[in-house]
Amino acid sequence: MGLFRNIFFLLGLCLLQGSNTSLVQLSDNGYEGIVIAIDPGVPEDGTLIEQIKDMVTAASAYLFEATDKRFFFKNVSILIPENWKDNPQYKRPKHESYNHADVLVAPPTLPGRDEPYTKQFTKCGEKGKYIHFTPDFVLGKKQKEYGPRGKLLVHEWAHLRWGVFDEYNDDKPYYSGSSKKIEATRCSTGITGTNKVHKCQGGSCSINRCRIDPKTKLYEKSCQFFPDKVQTEKTSIMFMQGIDSVVKFCNEENHNREAPSLQNEMCDLKSTWEVISNSEDYKNTTPMVAPPPSPVFSLLRISERVVCLVLDKSGSMGDSNRLNRMNQAAKYFLLKIIENKSWVGMVHFDSSANIKSQLIQIKGDNERNNLLKSLPTAANGGTSICAGIQSGFEVMRERNPQLDGSEIVLLSDGEDSSAKNCLDEVEHSGAIIHFIALGPSADKAVIQMPTITGGRHLYSSDVVQNNGLIDAFGALASGNTDISQQSLQLESKGSKLTSDPWINGTVIIDSTVGKDTFFLITWSTQPPSISLWDPSGTPIRSFIEDSASKMAYLSIPGTAKMGVWTYSLQAKANPETLTITVNSRAANSSVPPITVNAKMNKDTNSFPSPMIVYAEVLQGYIPILGASVTAFIESNTGKTEVLELLDNGAGADTFKDDGVYSRYFTAYSENGRYSLKVRAHGGANAVTRNLKHPPNRAAYIPGWVVDGKIEANPPRPEVDEDTQTNLESFTRTASGGAFVVSNVSASSPDLYPPSQITDLEATSDGDMINLTWTAPGDDFDVGKVKEYIIRISGSILDLRDNFDDAQQINTTDLLPKEASSKENFAFKPRNISEENATHIFIAIQSVDKSNLKSKVSNIAQIALFIPQADPDENPDENYPNSGLSISSLVLIVVGSVIIVTIILSITICTLKKKRNSSRPSTGF
């Protein structure tokens, strides 16, 4: 329980909030705005701060040399938890928050798992989300297993910033090389070492030779590559940066394209340096002449939240029931979303602004109810967004002249040509601006404000039943508060009722939530009949009705009963629009709740470029598999597209079973804003926690070969990856914010090809080759392709670069299935024409009904030989305290033989005596 309490604070704060939340910028070759956040679950330790500084300083020098004097770390902010003691050195954060963390220092995901990793769920060349280090790693306690901290930070930074992948593969640690030997997956092949099995049991360890798996013809799963301690090879940082001689990334000349590394699989056989050289960072810089300065560090401590609601009450807010809808959503925010101990004020604006409430610290219901009385009651006048913001600044300065880290929640439905006049003031204020755009005419220029201040851009249409405005306010929980204190949305739905006056449904209260459970019902015309039953069938009738705001709400005291709650709403008007929203907090601060977070891959997009929807479902840092995850994408005028998101490692989804569910989005209906909402549902016994290691964990150094002998490190702590624990049923909803699309064409031809196949695998069965892959769709991952083109070659580069010229396989009998289905195909290859070919390389291209072709798939391979194992130069080795030595074993064997001989001798003598005694005696 205690472990869970320590690992899940950052879960809802820094996973998928917004499409690009990092504040990092590159200026004069130096990275500025880096945020390293310490989890509040980490015990206070001033040494940790100093060790972070040492790690980053060492990493900056290493990064500079590794990138040919091109990049270094310039400015770094260390975010210190609020539960650590104050210190005169600590400043208040400006825009920095846990949402913007580039590096997290947090307890391990599971006990003993101190492995550094980068959360990376996007395509090759695209930025990752964050780097995860544990305190023990930062404190230098894991250097034997992972190498120097500074060098490993550069390895992880390459994942995070440039979207490269590891040049090893935990799932495919060996392959059949063109050398006709079994090779360790690595780059470059100049890295030398030996392959052995290192096993420990009961405090005794041994090192043995690797056996050949008869099925794969490669080394068994337990075999490991032990690198030589002394090397001369300089590459590669993305394989094993802990080797002393390694100071560079693999480039086009020394890259190992044969190996089944993640880098090869994800980046079309390109080297890491090729990907880095194609980045915007590289293109916008030139090598430096002088050495870079040391990094500059800022120590920032989280403090109490300060928020001012800046609400539009201009004349246009009287249209489409907007003023009342704003009040409903604002009441929801004040009653259940804003956290205790926060300071909250309120400003109304039209053509001018009025301060309605100075800052009040939320201590309980009294303060919340007092703020409710300050909401606007009438709509009139023009729109002056700058006046509202400036009055909001005035309110927040009453408590602290410095606005650093204070937040404005700005809601407006109108255009204001003067809004750009205060952009500079906003940018330099230190405050964070969250903008909720209401309706199709909300000012587009104001989008820049959340972008430049690290705030959120949210949107709601005038289609009331989509519940977008309540969802938008619900998404504004603090980015710095323990997730056990955050109100999680379990349900958000609505309906416009005409002939059928009923909305019936259920809400699941699972065991991870239940505290402070809140039901909210809204209507447009008349109060409906509301019926609610708890899981035991007991009716709940204590709703508070607010007829002026056309809403009713209910708070369940204590912890709500676990199970299925049933509701029934009956409209009393025709037509009528009803909505229901249900929130709850973690039932136990020691057990992380199940959460869902959503985002698009971009904030802005130009047609016809596709976008990708991401949703992450986790408990703590542990992925949840098997959930049904649905995205609802609402356009500027309220038209909604529905997408089923998948975690299958195909199409838009980068890694299978990592808890990130993805799908391409191309159904643009108009220009303007779109909003994203995601619903996740898990059925009992259908969803599981995935205890498997993260896809991009750092390479564990099993030990070193020193003077021909292996000096082994302790074995890597592992969890049985086949063990997945079942979960109970649950439901969650989440807002993924707003994005803007331009240049949408009213009608256009088929623009979208099938998505690239990324999971092609090949196995041999006699003289047949069996292929498996996930079917793409006619338009990326939707629909069904017309045909597949399968080609083979004896040269991996020829197949990649000259696919159309390679030998084609007859696929007449291969009928494509619907997108996301599993495809299987077997064929007997003709002779490969290339001389001295050691492998058959296979790739696939898909063709849709408009004859648009996909990118060529990843390349699978089949060896044309049985690879040779390494010559067994050394007999089975042992090291001190690692079990029985050879001499001991000999003594035991000899001793056993002697004992057996003695036993046999005694037995024979005994039998002889018995026979003699049983003979009749002879007398004379």
Residues involved in catalysis:
156
Token couple for 405: 């880290």
Query: What is the rounded CA–CA span in Å between residue 119 and residue 122?
Result: 9
Q: Are strands 725-726 and 688-689 parallel, antiparallel or unpaired?
A: antiparallel
**Following DSSP, what letter does each residue of 384-419 receive, concatenated?**
-HHHHHHHHHHHHHTT-S--TT-EEEEEE-S--TTG
| Residue 905, helix vs strand vs coil | helix
In this structure, the number of other CB atoms found within 10 A of the CB of residue 220 comes to 13
| Residue 910, helix vs strand vs coil | helix
Query: What is the rounded CA–CA span in Å between residue 600 and residue 673?
Result: 13
Cβ partners under 8 Å of residue 283, min gap 6: none
Q: What are phi and psi of 385, to 5 degrees?
A: -65, -40
Q: Is 833 exposed, middle or buried (0-12, 13-18, 19+ CB in 10 A)?
A: exposed
In this structure, the number of other CB atoms found within 10 A of the CB of residue 440 comes to 16
Cβ partners under 8 Å of residue 775, min gap 6: 784, 785, 816, 817, 818, 819, 820, 821, 822, 823
Cβ partners under 8 Å of residue 315, min gap 6: 350, 379, 380, 381, 382
The rounded Cα 724 to chain-centroid distance in angstroms is 19
Q: What are phi and psi of 491, to 5 degrees?
A: -150, 145
Any bridge partners for residue 710, and if so which? 705
The rounded Cα 578 to chain-centroid distance in angstroms is 35
| Residue 84, helix vs strand vs coil | coil
Q: Report cis status (omega within 30 of 0) of the bond before 236.
A: yes
Helix then strand count (H, E) for the chain reads 18, 49
| Residue 453, helix vs strand vs coil | helix
DSSP letter, residue 228: B
Rounded (to 5) percent helix, strand, coil in the chain: 20, 35, 45
**Range list of H helices, 113-220:** 135-138, 143-146, 149-162
Look at phi and psi of residue 360 and say left if phi exceeds 0, alpha if psi is from -120 to 50, else beta: beta
Token couple for 81: 């938890």
Contact indicator for 557, 577 with CB cutoff of 8 Å: no
Query: What is the rounded CA–CA span in Å between residue 136 and residue 108?
Result: 9
| Residue 908, helix vs strand vs coil | helix
**Range list of H helices, 216-317:** 237-240, 262-266, 272-277, 280-283
DSSP letter, residue 85: P
**Following DSSP, what letter does each residue of 766-812 receive, concatenated?**
TTEEEEEEE---SBBTBS--SEEEEEEES-HHHHHH-GGGSEEPP-T
Contact indicator for 182, 868 with CB cutoff of 8 Å: yes
User: How many residues belong to the chain?
Assistant: 924
Query: What is the rounded CA–CA span in Å between residue 499 and residue 680?
Result: 29
The DSSP H or E segment spanning 68 is none
Query: What is the rounded CA–CA span in Å between residue 309 and residue 336?
Result: 15
In this structure, the number of other CB atoms found within 10 A of the CB of residue 704 comes to 19
Q: Are strands 551-555 and 544-546 parallel, antiparallel or unpaired?
A: antiparallel
Query: What is the rounded CA–CA span in Å between residue 183 and residue 174?
Result: 6
Token couple for 896: 């056993």
